[in-house]
């Protein structure tokens, strides 16, 4: 067991193109969002394992000795087929939760316990450690916050237990793991996601592990080669929505008007493929023309999504406000409220961007200026982290 303090971060995700169409076998492009989740792992010898999640007000601690006595044979070895609902019920017993608990705070604790017990049980004794996780990502907004959490936990626990080496070399501010080690991190993070979501697609944890941009179609995930980092505004309308209901509405519209809706889905697929092609060209040398094409694709996709019935008055308002400032926006994720993204061309005058942000906040929306195509899970030195992040991780 390593005795060093570990500082790990992982990005969130947004769907650039292909939401809803992906449910019907079409391509979706998912990109890493540079709003990150940060984890600090502090080994110690007080016989306790502690978990602090300041964003959601969780603080829990367990005696290592009592965890050591548990029969954890049901946990398997991180193999995809192992985790069953019965296992999750057993974890709830360990955590002292009622059987019917499904609130996000408790599921986050269960995912931690699952990964801690599974990854660390190969050690001679379960290690004493404190883990604090703090995120820039809003939860429950379709931005992959639970996957970023699971990826950070998997990377930190695997590294602390020396299942994978710490890639950080002297003099480096941050570093990433090798492809082979990322595979292992992703495999465990997917198990954490299964504790939280039951039956996730695996896209969110893959984006958070590898970063950049991924293409997803019918269960197959592949990385785009060196996608450019694109500056965006991420806007949260804060209008709650049910993904399940929105997906069901698109399905019923498809059944009711197959001749109309099937071509819309085919057209969205073509938008995703064209975007993938343009991003590929931009890897070599981005030009102003590339940005104009990306903006057109964003506009067309937003209209298609409205035609599918997943728009919302708040998203229309978001698009109107950004259009008035010469910017182009679309919903991202399920729609019906939730979040939108606005592309920021590199040549935009700074005052225009600031004016757009002010106007969006005046609508009551949350707004972040950030980027997509961000690096995946990384390990950092303390000195390389922003003061605000250090403060959030240390304030406990």
Angle between helices 179-197 and 145-160 (to 10 degrees): 130
Using CA atoms, how far apart are residues 343 and 388, in angstroms rounded to an integer? 26
Using CA atoms, how far apart are residues 312 and 294, in angstroms rounded to an integer? 23
Using CA atoms, how far apart are residues 88 and 94, in angstroms rounded to an integer? 10
Assign residue 54 a region: left if phi > 0, alpha if psi is -120 to 50, beta otherwise? alpha
Catalytic residue, candidates 52, 146, 329, 378: 146
Assign residue 194 a region: left if phi > 0, alpha if psi is -120 to 50, beta otherwise? alpha
Using CA atoms, how far apart are residues 87 and 84, in angstroms rounded to an integer? 5
Q: Is 146 a known active-site residue?
A: yes
Catalytic residue, candidates 204, 208, 269, 329: 204
Assign residue 373 a region: left if phi > 0, alpha if psi is -120 to 50, beta otherwise? left
**204 and 332 Cβ atoms separated by less than 8 Å:** no
Tokens of 147: 């996957």
Using CA atoms, how far apart are residues 170 and 186, in angstroms rounded to an integer? 26
Closest CA to 305 of 241, 261, 240, 242: 261
Q: Is 204 a known active-site residue?
A: yes
How many Cβ atoms are within 10 Å of 262's Cβ, its own excluded?
Answer: 12
Catalytic residues: 146, 204
């Amino acid at each position: 067991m390593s005795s060093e303090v570990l500082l790990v971060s992982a990005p969130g995700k947004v769907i650039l193109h292909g939401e809803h169409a992906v449910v019907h076998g079409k391509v979706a492009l998912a990109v890493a969002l540079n709003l990150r989740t940060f984890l600090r792992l502090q080994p110690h010898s007080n016989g306790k394992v502690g978990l602090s999640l300041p964003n959601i007000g969780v603080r829990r601690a367990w005696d290592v000795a009592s965890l050591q006595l548990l029969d954890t044979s049901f946990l398997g070895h991180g193999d995809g087929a192992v985790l069953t609902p019965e296992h999750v019920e057993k974890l709830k017993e360990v955590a002292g939760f009622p059987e019917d608990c499904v609130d996000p705070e408790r599921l986050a604790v269960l995912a931690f316990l699952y990964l801690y017990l599974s990854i660390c049980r190969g050690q001679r004794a379960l290690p004493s450690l404190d883990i604090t996780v703090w995120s820039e990502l809003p939860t429950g907004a379709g931005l992959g916050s639970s996957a970023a959490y699971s990826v950070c936990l998997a990377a930190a626990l695997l590294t602390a237990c020396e299942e994978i080496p710490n890639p950080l070399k002297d003099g480096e501010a941050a570093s990433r793991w090798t492809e082979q080690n990322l595979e292992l991190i992703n495999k465990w993070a997917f198990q954490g996601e299964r504790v939280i979501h039951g039956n996730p697609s695996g896209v969110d944890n893959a984006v958070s592990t590898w970063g950049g941009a991924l293409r997803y179609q019918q269960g197959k995930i592949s990385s785009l080669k060196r996608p450019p980092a694109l500056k965006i505004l991420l806007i949260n309308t804060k209008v709650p929505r049910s993904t399940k209901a929105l997906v069901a509405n698109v399905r019923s519209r498809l059944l009711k008007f197959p001749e109309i809706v099937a071509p819309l889905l085919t057209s969205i697929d073509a938008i995703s493929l064209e975007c993938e092609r343009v991003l590929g060209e931009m890897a070599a040398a981005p030009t102003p023309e590339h940005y104009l094409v990306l903006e057109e694709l964003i506009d067309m996709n937003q209209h298609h999504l409205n035609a599918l019935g997943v728009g919302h008055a708040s998203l229309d308002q978001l698009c109107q406000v950004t259009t008035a400032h010469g910017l182009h926006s679309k919903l991202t994720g399920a729609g019906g409220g939730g979040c939108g993204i606005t592309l920021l061309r590199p040549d935009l005058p700074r005052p225009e961007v600031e004016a757009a942000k002010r106007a969006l906040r005046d609508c009551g929306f949350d707004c972040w200026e950030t980027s997509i195509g961000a690096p995946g899970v990384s390990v950092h030195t303390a000195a390389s982290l922003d003061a605000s992040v250090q403060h959030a991780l240390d304030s406990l």
